[in-house]
Amino acid sequence: MQKRILGNSKLEVSAIGLGCMGMSFSYGPPKDKKEMTSLLRAAVERGVTFFDTAEVYGPFTNEELVGEALAPFRGRVVIATKFGFDLSGSDKRPGAAGLNSRPEQIKQAVEGSLKRLKVDAIDLFYQHRVDPSVPIEDVAGAVKELIRAGKVKHFGLSEAGVKTIRRAHKVQPLTALQSEYSLWTRTPEKEVIPTLEELGIGFVTYSPLGKGFLTGKIDENAKFDSSDFRSTLPRFTPEALKANQALIDLLGTIGKPKQATVAQIALAWLLARKPWIVPIPGTMKLHRLDENLGAVAVELTPDDLRDIESAAAKITVHGARYPEKLEQMTGR
């Protein structure tokens, strides 16, 4: 497995990481713990060293799963987790739970994550969403203290806007920003990616396969259980899925002569964007893990990239990526 370094931080991770959320949360009922433990360990055997979780996934159960499964590999893997949702209420879903990034809450959150992940220090600690009621300088200052105390190694933000990124970075240098980025979510290209490049911050891209759409396995006839959060997303209505099929056709055209799948081309495109971009596709299946990791070996030529860019420019993606309440939590 190839390695990449996140920005100027010297934090080295596998070129493709593993998003672990769906194993416990959001994509239907929680998956079998034994099966997911086997999958996590299989990822390590295949060279994956970068794993992503959060306290709100479950809540808490995803961190427990990751911590237990990866316990035999301490020192060989990098585990990223997140703080920032208020989990004191009865409804702990990210869309329902309020935000809480007060310094005292961050210090409380880190203790819980350390315990569940069975580690002495959090490798990469993200603010999950920007909390408008807490100055980002206070958030960065709290994480700076945790780094000094040896409880956190690296600081990150998720779905933050460029002004927030700059303000936080002045207080405590950011190792990574995590935001959604793929061929059907290209918003970061306008301001965020140039800012990250300027400041030397890595970019960890979640949902690099469009929450499953860019695998080519989802069409307008797809049915989503009420426990699958895609059932609430405007981009996953039958009308939007049908309209967005043009993207799948494009990726299939590029992949066919390379004997590469739609998903592999989507991931290879991301890897070709910048050497400090690291996608973290999630999966609950071993054959999908192998398919995703195979993207590292897919080489897109300058001509391929131009062809993708030219064709993608003519495709309008239909549907918002989140309902309005969740969309408001991004880009702050």
β-strands 18-19, 50-52: how paired? parallel
Catalytic residue among 57, 126, 206, 322: 57
Q: Is 188 exposed, middle or buried (0-12, 13-18, 19+ CB in 10 A)?
A: buried
DSSP letter for each residue of 109-141:
HHHHHHHHHT-SSBSEEEESS--TTS-HHHHHH
Helix axis angle for 286-293 and 262-273, nearest 10°, is 40
Distance CA 125, CA 146 (A): 10
The residues that bridge with 18 in the sheet, in sequence order, are 51
Distance, CA of 205 to CA of 212 (rounded, Å) = 14
Among 158, 188, 194, 150, CA closest to 175 = 158
Give the other-Cβ count within 10 Å of 86's Cβ: 15
Task: Look up tokens 């980002």; give the residue.
Answer: 136
For the question of residue 57 being annotated catalytic, the response is yes
Q: Which helix (H) or strand (E) holds 248?
A: helix 245-255
Segment (H or E) for 79: strand 78-83
| Both tokens assigned to 221 | 């006839």
- Max distance between CA atoms of the chain, in angstroms, equals 55
Mind telling me the catalytic residues? 57
